[in-house]
Amino acid sequence: MAKKKSAVDFEKSLQTLEQLVEKMESGELTLEKSLEAFEQGIRLTKECQQALQEAEQKVQILMSRNGSDELQTFSESDDDQ
């Protein structure tokens, strides 16, 4: 269950981050509100980066368990086979 919560949190954090960027780009926020939004954006960015790092580690662990330590480039033609 924790895995699904992490994915939901990532998606929600990313969506919130996108909304913050839109508000800041609109130019309608006061300086104080812009700084608050920026701080929140930095925090959300760190949370998203952490979630992506954890996902990458899981992929690497799964690949090493299958005897394939090296990541291979994805090719659309490989997917058709």
Q: What is the pLDDT of residues 9-42, one digit of tens each?
A: 889 999 999 999 999 999 999 999 999 999 999 9
Report the first-to-last Cα separation within the chain, whole angstroms.
Answer: 34
What secondary structure letter does DSSP report for 68? Answer: -
35, 49, 61 from 56: Cα distances, Å: 31, 10, 9
Ramachandran angles phi, psi of 10, nearest 5°: -60, -50
- CA-to-CA distance for 28 and 10, rounded, in angstroms? 27
Rounded CA separation 52/49 (Å): 5
Q: pLDDT at position 5, please?
A: 63
